[in-house]
């Protein structure tokens, strides 16, 4: 009966509190999903449960060891989850509200097709054509995180996305072909952008500087990245700091559109 009494005392503030906690957990899950961090997070939960169990069973030695670990746990969390914490703070602090508009647009049943939807077909067609001629390219798709802090490292633009435009930017004799381009709302907002590199030695040797830059920017922000290799002409897709495997260009097209939706 006490449970029912507590439920009756549930106020609007409690509902908001539960909703915000659920939202926070959802974003944390999005950050660590598919990364090594999820295994570390599970390990920390297991250690916490073992600590509570040994404390309940009065196992003083083990309880003391695990208790000491938990006391410095917050410092360990900051060190271990530094990339995820940085990405979360960046997500909170640099959310691109102008792109999302009203909060109701987050709900799919209220979303409508808009003219500023990124022309993925044109971009992918350009990448396929550049791949055949082995023209290197690095394209970054802006999502929630505002990438103005990266745009300032290159030349700011305001060009509508078309296949000829993408090809002309990365043409080998073009003054704009070095670095990356940032695409937002079907607009090339910057060219010759310098991206943060990932220097982890675990990256396959077949990946060059473009690939490392794609991993770096998708690792530190929620952006997506396409890379056309200058050596092989292969197209690579990166999300959340990881190389995404796809069977063919049709599947890649659908994946990008889904991730941008």
Determine the Cα–Cα distance for residues 221 and 214; give it in Å rounded to an integer: 11
Determine the Cα–Cα distance for residues 16 and 101; give it in Å rounded to an integer: 22
Can you name the residues that pair with 95 across neighbouring β-strands? 145
Tokens coding 50 = 């073992």
- Cβ–Cβ < 8 Å for 228, 136: yes
At 220, is the secondary structure helix, strand, or coil?
A: helix
Backbone φ and ψ of 56, nearest 5°: -70, -35
In the structure, what pLDDT confidence band is assigned to residue 113 with cuts at 50, 70 and 90?
very low
Sign of the four-CA dihedral 45, 50, 51, 53: positive
**What pLDDT score does 111 carry?**
42
Query: pLDDT, tens digit, for every residue of 152-163?
Result: 888 888 999 999
Instruction: Inform me whether the pLDDT recorded for 49 exceeds 60.
Output: yes
- Cβ–Cβ < 8 Å for 126, 183: no
Q: Is 81 exposed, middle or buried (0-12, 13-18, 19+ CB in 10 A)?
A: buried
Can you name the residues that pair with 103 across neighbouring β-strands? none
Q: Across residues 69-88, what is the average pLDDT?
A: 68
- Cβ–Cβ < 8 Å for 141, 214: no
pTM of the predicted structure, to 2 decimals: 0.63
In the structure, what pLDDT confidence band is assigned to residue 221 with cuts at 50, 70 and 90?
confident
- Angle 64-66-69 (CA atoms, 0-180°, nearest 5)? 110
**What pLDDT score does 8 carry?**
59
**What pLDDT score does 188 carry?**
93
Tokens coding 64 = 């003391």
Determine the Cα–Cα distance for residues 181 and 170; give it in Å rounded to an integer: 9
Secondary structure E strands in the chain = 137-141, 155-160, 180-184, 187-193, 224-228, 235-239, 242-244
**What pLDDT score does 88 carry?**
64
In the structure, what pLDDT confidence band is assigned to residue 200 with cuts at 50, 70 and 90?
low
């Amino acid at each position: 009966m006490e449970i029912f009494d507590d439920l009756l005392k549930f106020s609007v503030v409690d509902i908001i509190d539960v909703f915000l906690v659920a939202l926070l957990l959802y974003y944390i899950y999005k950050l660590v999903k598919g990364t090594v961090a999820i295994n570390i997070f599970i390990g920390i939960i297991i250690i916490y449960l073992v600590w509570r169990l040994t404390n309940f069973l009065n196992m003083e030695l083990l309880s003391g060891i695990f208790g000491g670990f938990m006391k410095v746990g917050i410092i360990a969390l900051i060190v271990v989850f530094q990339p995820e914490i940085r990405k979360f703070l960046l997500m909170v602090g640099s959310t691109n509200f102008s792109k999302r508009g009203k909060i109701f647009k987050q709900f799919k049943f209220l979303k409508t097709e808009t003219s500023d939807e990124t022309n993925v077909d044109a971009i992918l067609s350009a990448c396929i054509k550049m791949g055949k001629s082995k023209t290197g390219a690095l394209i970054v798709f802006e999502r929630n995180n505002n990438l103005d802090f990266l745009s300032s490292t290159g030349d700011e633009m305001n060009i509508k996305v078309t296949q000829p435009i993408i090809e002309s930017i990365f043409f080998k004799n073009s003054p704009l072909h070095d670095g990356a381009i940032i695409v937002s709302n079907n607009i090339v907002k910057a060219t010759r952008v310098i991206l943060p590199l990932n220097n982890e030695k675990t990256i396959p040797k077949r990946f060059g500087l473009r690939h490392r830059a794609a991993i770096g920017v998708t690792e530190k922000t929620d952006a997506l990245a396409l890379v056309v290799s200058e050596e092989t002409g292969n197209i690579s897709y990166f999300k959340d700091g990881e190389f995404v495997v796809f069977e063919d260009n049709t599947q890649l097209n659908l994946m990008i559109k889904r991730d941008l939706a």
